[in-house]
Structure 1
Amino acid sequence: MKRISTALLSIGVIALLLAGCQGKQANQGESKEQSAKITAVGSTALQPLVEQAGATYQTKHAGIDITVQGGGSGTGLAQVSDGSVTIGNSDIFAEEKAGINAKQLVDHKVAVVAIAPVVNEKLGIKSLTQAQLKDIFTGKIKNWHAVGGPDQSITVVNRAQGSGTRQTFENLGLKTNKVMTSQEQDSSGTVQKIVRQTPGAISYLAFPYIKDGLKAVALDNVQPTTKNVLTNQWPIWSYEHAYTKGAPNYQTAKFINYLQSKDVQKTLVPKLGYIPMTQMKVERHADGSIQDVK
């Protein structure tokens, strides 16, 4: 009887030790799963949404560190492709960017952003034709007087090469990429500041950046409004893409799902000036073709 009791005691001790080890391993696994560093780089048009959503997400998920940086869509696509960042933010499809292997990337669309030509609010210009806009950015028109404005030289402010905002504006607004040589800026925030401070300046910005001191210019009597974007009546818009190299890991997928969630799409997205994809009446493909949403 004593031998049986001793044996049972030994079995019990071993069971407790095994349970302890398993519990420790489970806790270590859980801790690993709940901690992660996510780096999102690229589009400055998308940057405000990812920054604010990321800040809120971090307060709800201890151990998650989300870093958001600009640099332009080209930078985002290049860095996610080479594996140096977790998410590449882009205003353009990966297929549109030379040197990027789109087949290696997974597209996670998180919003729609519209873009409009902008001038200093004090200039007094409210509308242009598409032909006038093209002539301004190609250097044929150099004074605002030629389009009904004051006798003032035009200062063209461009985004840098590699900017998704620039590529979208040139493709869908100007319908040419053969623009005049002018000052180029790396971020939407810098463009916003320069146009606000320069009386004769013109540039282009995503809707979230069009604020006090700036005037969004209508084209061919079509106003740059969300309502007109929904039906492609205002055609200068793009998806906001959060690209990953292959399928995202667990924590990155959770954050992207949060960006696409009703909580963000119904509150933060419209609040910041973006458009929820579910509101769009049309959809655009990587080749530029448009079709009605079914």
Structure 2
Amino acid sequence: MKTKWFKHTLLTVLAVAVAFGSVSAASAASKLNGKIVINGSSALLPLTLQAANEFKKKNPKVKISASAAGSVTGPQSVRKGIADIGACDWDASLDVPGFKAFDGQVANKVAVIPFAAVVNKGVKATNLTTKQLQGIFSGKIKNWKEVGGDDAEIVVVNRAFGSGTRVNFQMKALDGTNFMSKGDNYKEVKSSGDMKTAIETTPNAIGYIDLVYVTDKMRALNINSYAPTEANIISGKYTVWAYGYYMTKGKPTGAVKAFIEYVQSKEFQNGSLKKLKFIPISAMKN
């Protein structure tokens, strides 16, 4: 009897301890407070907004505001002190073509971003080689019939300078070849959302965007016969992708640190992040 009573009492004590620990953890989380301002990459904006919604449910005393005006504005805003986090499609603590490093900033890796060459739904092309993409975006190839499509003038839609998507597409899809910059068949847009609208509504248009923005009103092209899928990216067959970063002034602390850690957590990486067509950072070998 004493043995049974002892076991019952021990189990009760353990249950209370576990319950108390859970309450304490929830209480600790709910005590987190502060304001987080995020600016920068429009490619990362859907991920940031989703993560902010989930994080605020767990931490209702934390206020988060997010906006996007292109990757370069992320670390610029952090440097100016008007943002706590600068979302960027490259590691802005290092020099990259066209941009000097932002000294004193820390790059916190949060996602793998797949980018795709995209065309208006009416375009018949489904696959382009690197050489064909170079010709199109430099303005040397002007008609879809030159690359197996209909006899129609190609409309090139480009992102404005300062876009991380532009930086990555130029380096990885065009192998560094320069973009055309003017002409009757050339358009330039400021954000991923603007690119989405332009491709959807412009006949014979081609542009580039990250997968989260691709809709049934456009087509993501194969590049060198490989589709922009998670499997092809992880295997190294499809190379037009980049890590997304949250840039901070020094190592993050407080609510900012907690938010970044949530985005990097298995819960978010294997949940909402994958649903948004990003790839978890743990999936990549490098």
Which category describes the TM-score, using the shorter chain as reference length? 0.7 to 0.9
Q: Give the Cα separation in 2 of the matches to 1:73 and 1:106.
A: 15
Is contact 1:41-1:87 (8 Å) kept? yes
Is contact 2:196-2:209 (8 Å) kept? yes
Q: Give the Cα separation in 2 of the matches to 1:187 and 1:165.
A: 9
Partner SS state of residue 37, structure 2: strand
**Matching of residue 85 in structure 1 with residue 69 in structure 2:** no
Please point out which of 51, 76, 97 is paired with 2:49: 51
Q: CA RMSD in A?
A: 1.8
Is contact 2:31-2:61 (8 Å) kept? no
Q: Which amino acid aligns with 1:122?
A: G
- Residue 66 of structure 2 is matched in structure 1 by 68
**Matching of residue 106 in structure 1 with residue 93 in structure 2:** no
Shift of 1:100: 4.6
Partner SS state of residue 271, structure 2: helix
Task: Tell me the TM-score normalized by structure 1.
Answer: 0.82
Shift of 1:34: 3.0
Report the count of equivalent residues.
Answer: 253
Q: Which amino acid aligns with 2:147?
A: V
Is contact 2:95-2:101 (8 Å) kept? no
Partner SS state of residue 167, structure 2: helix
Is contact 2:144-2:153 (8 Å) kept? yes
Q: Which amino acid aligns with 2:246?
A: A
- Residue 216 of structure 2 is matched in structure 1 by 212
Is contact 2:170-2:176 (8 Å) kept? yes
Is contact 1:259-1:265 (8 Å) kept? yes
Q: Give the Cα separation in 2 of the matches to 1:144 and 1:121.
A: 14
Shift of 1:99: 5.8
Shift of 1:130: 1.0
- Residue 38 of structure 2 is matched in structure 1 by 40
Q: Which amino acid aligns with 2:200?
A: R
Shift of 1:262: 1.1
Q: Where does structure 1 lack aligned partners over 5 or more consecutive residues?
A: 1-29, 284-294
Partner SS state of residue 157, structure 1: strand
Q: Give the Cα separation in 1 of the matches to 2:156 and 2:95.
A: 25
Is contact 1:78-1:100 (8 Å) kept? no
Please point out which of 246, 251, 262 is paired with 2:250: 246
Q: Which amino acid aligns with 2:118?
A: V
Please point out which of 222, 227, 230 is paired with 1:226: 230
Q: Which amino acid aligns with 1:124?
A: K
Q: Which amino acid aligns with 2:277?
A: G
Task: Tell me the TM-score normalized by structure 2.
Answer: 0.84
Q: Deviations over 1:14-58 (max 9, x none)?
A: xxxxxxxxxxxxxxxx9x963211011001111100101101211
The 10-residue stretch of structure 1 (147-156 or 172-181) with the greater mean CA deviation from structure 2: 172-181
Q: Where does structure 2 lack aligned partners over 5 or more consecutive residues?
A: 1-27
- Residue 164 of structure 1 is matched in structure 2 by 164
**Which of 1 and 2 has greater Rg?**
1
Partner SS state of residue 48, structure 2: helix
Q: Which amino acid aligns with 1:85?
A: A
- Residue 149 of structure 2 is matched in structure 1 by 149
- Residue 96 of structure 1 is matched in structure 2 by 95
Given the superposition, is the C-alpha separation of residues 172 and 101 from structure 1 closer, same or farther in structure 2, using an over 3 Å criterion?
A: closer
